[in-house]
Amino acid sequence: MFAGDVDIVVLPGAGGEMGVLPKHAPVLTTLKYGIVKVRKGGKEELFVVAGGVAEVQPDIVTILADRGSENIYDIDVDRAEAAKKRAQEYFSKNPPADTDRYLIMEAALRRANLRLDVVKRYRKSGMRSLQSDN
């Protein structure tokens, strides 16, 4: 997802947003669907995660995302819109039930909505990659 020194990492923790500064006390937290923000020198880079866990050590943050993570500039809007449409079509034809397929489609819809929301809210802001600064 990202490697390098930063000023702060903001995680979508299960209990709310969690800011992690250098020399932070060790902690292990679950992640909810949301945005990981990485800031350095006034620049910010955003990544979408669909759950997972984060291990915080004084000098490193390790994120294990359930379904991977992606930089907001790598999000394929057409693919996200197609996934949203497939999920919505599935729900319009199938009654709610606690089946594996239903839960899979529900998760796909949540991921698609998250991706589309993040692109809409943040992509136009002119952010630049921090990795090119390392």
Q: What was the pLDDT predicted at 112?
A: 94
Question: 16-20 and 27-40: which strand pairing?
Answer: unpaired
The residue out of 72, 105, 127 marking a domain boundary is 72
pTM: 0.80
Token pair of 99 as six digits: 């089946």
Q: Please write the tens of the pLDDT for every residue from 61-76.
A: 999 987 778 899 999 9
Q: What is the DSSP letter of 7?
A: S
Give one DSSP letter per residue of 88-114, joined into a string: HHHHHHS-----HHHHHHHHHHHHHHH
Report whether pLDDT(131) > 80: no
Q: 62 and 49 in contact (C-beta within 8 Å)?
A: no
Question: Domain span at residue 42?
Answer: 8-72
The residue out of 72, 93, 111 marking a domain boundary is 72
- Could you tell me if residue 133 is inside a domain? no
- Could you tell me if residue 125 is inside a domain? no
Number of domains in the chain: 2
Q: Please write the tens of the pLDDT for every residue from 21-74.
A: 999 999 999 999 999 999 999 899 999 999 899 999 999 999 998 777 889 999
**Within 13 Å, how many C-alpha atoms sit on residue 71's CB side?**
13
